[in-house]
Each structure stands twice: as structure tokens, then as C-alpha cells.
Amino acid sequence: MTLPPQTLAEQILSHACGRPVYAGEVVTCAVDLAMVHDSIAPAVIRILTEELGASGVWDRERVAVAIDHVAPAATIQTATAQDGVRRWALEQELPHFFETGRGICHQVLLEERLARPGLLVVGSDSHSTAYGAVGAFGTGMGATDIALALATGQTWLRVPSTVLVRARGELRPGVSAKDVALFIARELRADGATYEALEYHGFDAFSLGERTTLTSMAVEVGAKAGIVAPTGAALADDEVPEWLGVQPGATYRRVLDVDLTALEPQVAAPNFVDNVTDLGEVAPSERVPVNVVYLGTCTNGRHEDMAAAARILRGRRVARGVRLIVVPASSQALQQAAEDGTLSTLLAAGAAIGTPGCGACIGRHMGVLAPGDVCVFTGNRNFRGRMGSPDARIYLASPEVAAATAVTGYLTDPRTLASLPA
């Protein structure tokens, strides 16, 4: 008997359950990898040890712990909490413990090839959807769920229906993966895929980093997971299981077509991720002054993002009155930027470089915003108060737009910068 075709989410959850499952079913299934980071780990460890009474985790090889959210620690209280996490990880002899400075959990797990095609990965972070870049089912959960997964290696899920994002064409210069991610939020809206999965077709030419930009933002339209079809050069070195791949005839609740060739630079204006327009439509008759440009995060803090900014900043200076803060997504990204001159270009332009990690994305350290600040941010959320003061304003944009804006001091289309004096 031939089974009905499945979405990528259904395929991965079927594999995790050991039987074919389809959208709508509530299943209990085996977790391949569980991730916890410093911001949530103290609660997870307390629930695990005190409430569940577990002496350890179910499988040390399948647990990753990252110190990335407030790293290095900014206050004595945070340092103390992190020390508890560190001691626990060392006592448990967890092989995948990533210290301060190694980078953002999602980027690190992809670099370390802990997140791989076909795996079910749960993380104590909503942007765990990022693992879909490599063809995994990655999903974020709260502390209780993660503690249960750490104790038992199991979790429960409702198999999600899927929204298909189908691209055609190629991005033009000055337009990048972030613009695609923002366009998807613009079209689907912030709850357009709540309780669902996104599946991305037509992105074979995208690098792993570009794919991560897309999948890290799947949660911003409410999605449980966002999975890129695991084909193309970016996955040439990965072992894609023979059971994983796009199946013609799979059921998609909705299809969103994206014409990459026609896409303009996008910007999400305060205070919502789906408050997106073409950059050219933001206050077209007047300039939007910006005094903070923040480049980093799991969405856009990789080497290629820094390099894209550096190409625009080469031979130019950050405008007076603007601070440009660059926080690499990982030590590997920083290393690469140091080796190929990207870092020198950024420093010469006047950038401040932070320790690899989440930076000010959650507003707890390393460049939080003051009341009245207007920030162009390459991250994934522009909620009120997200990066510090609730009276700051955050625009989400690509690294290219961020770099051009740093030069001029107002929201700037990178394609117009060529005509300005360097």
C-alpha cells in the first residue's frame, strides 16, 4: 500500500514517531537533540532536578547547552545564575557545552553539525526554528517542556499543517535573504502560520546562512517549524536521509509565491515584525533619522552578513552621531571575518565589535537602547522594549540596509549609496 505524500514536517515527525503521521495528529515522539541556553537553563535545571527528580539527562550526546544570551554576564545576579548552569553542565559531563564567546546556540549547533537533516530538535528558544535551514524540524518550547525532554528524550507535538513558500527567480544586488524573510512576514502576517510549519521551495541557490535567515524568522509568523527543502549546494556535505525530500502531492494549506527577482529591500517599522513595507515606501517624502545600527543575531550575524556590510562600509565612515554595533553570531564567524579583512573594514569604518552571542537582541546587555533611540537592527524582533527602553524605536532590515544607514544616519537603500561620495 502506498502512503499519501507527506510534507517535510510530516516526514521528520513520522521518522521520530516510528510510524507515518499526518497533520492534525497529536503524537509523542523521540527527540534527537535538545538545546538549552543560559537565559532559561536555570529554570530548566531546577525543574529537571527538583521537580522531576532526575539525576541527569537522558542522553548526554543529545544535549547542547550554550551560554549566549547574556554572555559575558552583565550583572552579578546573571553571572551567578550562569555559574550554576556551567557547574551543572560540567558535573553532567555534557560534551556539547558551549561557553561564553562561542556564539549563538542556533548558529553553533549548525556549525558543529549537531543539527542535521531529518532530526527533531527542541530548544528553549523560540528561534529554534532556525535548524530548518539544514532540513531539521527545529522548534522552541518553554522550560517545563525542555526539562521533560531532557529527562525522557520524548516530547509531544501536534503534527502541523504546512504553508508552502515557493520562490522563483534570483535576488538582485542590494536585496538579500532578510528581505525575503521580511516579505514572508508581510504577506503571511505575524499569526499567519500559527501552530503550522513553513516549507521553503526554490531556495537551492541559497547558502546555509541565507537559509538560516529565513528559518530563524519562521516563528515570527507563528510557525512551529520552518524547513528548507534539503537540496542544493549548501547541503552538499550533509547526509540527507533517503526518506527526506519534497514529495509531489503533499498537502499544503496555503501556498505563498515569492518572486525573488522583483523583490525590493524591505523594512519592518516599529513595533511589529509584520509591519513591513518596501524600504522606498517608508516616509518617502522625508528621511527617517537613525542613531543606532545593530548588526548581529541568529538571523543576520554570520560572516556573510558582516562581509555584506563591509562591502558597503569599505572606504566610508559611520555617520557622526551614529553608533554601529556588530555582534558576530559565532566565534567561527568572527574568526573568518578576522582572516579575510572584513573585521578590519568594519573597525576602520568605526564599528564597535561585541563578543559573539545574542548581544542586545533581548535587551539585557551589550548595547541596550535608550529612550528616543532609533535603531536599524538586523535581528528578528522589533517589539516595544525588545532591545532596552520601551521608548526606543526599532526597524528590522538587512545587513546591506543597516550598513548603508550607518553611513548616512538615516534609513538608506544600499543601492543609492553608490551615487554618494565614499
Partner 1 sequence: MPRVHVFARDHINTDEIIPARHLTTDVESELARYAMEDYDREFVRRVRPGDLIIAGADFGCGSSREHAVWALRGAGVGAVIAPNFARIFYRNAINNGFLALECAGIVEAFQDGDEAVLDLAGGTITNLRTGQTLRFVPVPPFALAVQRAGGWLEYMREQDAGAAGTPTPPSLNTPSTEAGHGHPGTPQEDAHA
Q: Which residues bind partner 1 (CB under 8 A)?
A: 39-40, 42-43, 46-47, 51-52, 75, 77-78, 81, 123-126, 128, 140-145, 148, 190-191, 194-195, 222, 224, 272, 362-364, 381, 383-386, 388, 390
Alpha-carbon span 397 to 55, nearest angstrom: 45
Alpha-carbon span 38 to 223, nearest angstrom: 24
Q: 16 vs 44, which CB is nearer to partner 1?
A: 44
Q: 149 vs 258, which CB is nearer to partner 1?
A: 149
* Sheet with 225-228, edge to edge strand ranges: 225-228, 197-201, 162-168, 254-259
State the nearest-atom distance from the C-beta of 9 to partner 1, in Å: 13
Q: 92 vs 126, which CB is nearer to partner 1?
A: 126
Residue at 50: amino acid letter:
E
Q: 203 vs 294, which CB is nearer to partner 1?
A: 294
Cell numbers given for 268? 519592518
Cell numbers given for 406? 550607518
Q: 138 vs 414, which CB is nearer to partner 1?
A: 138
Grid-cell match 525532554, residue found? 149
Contacts (Cβ under 8 Å, ≥6 apart) of 371: 389, 391, 392
State the nearest-atom distance from the C-beta of 27 to partner 1, in Å: 14
State the nearest-atom distance from the C-beta of 132 to partner 1, in Å: 15
Is residue 205 a contact partner of residue 232, using CB atoms and an 8 Å limit?
Answer: yes
Alpha-carbon span 291 to 406, nearest angstrom: 8
State the nearest-atom distance from the C-beta of 12 to partner 1, in Å: 17
Alpha-carbon span 71 to 79, nearest angstrom: 9
Kind of pairing, strands 323-327 and 292-296? parallel
Q: What is the DSSP letter of 359?
A: G
State the nearest-atom distance from the C-beta of 405 to partner 1, in Å: 23
Select from 289, 256, 267, 81 the least CA-distant residue to 184: 256
User: Residue 296 — φ and ψ, nearest 5°?
Assistant: 170, -160
Q: 122 vs 343, which CB is nearer to partner 1?
A: 122
State the nearest-atom distance from the C-beta of 175 to partner 1, in Å: 27
State the nearest-atom distance from the C-beta of 270 to partner 1, in Å: 13
Q: 194 vs 344, which CB is nearer to partner 1?
A: 194
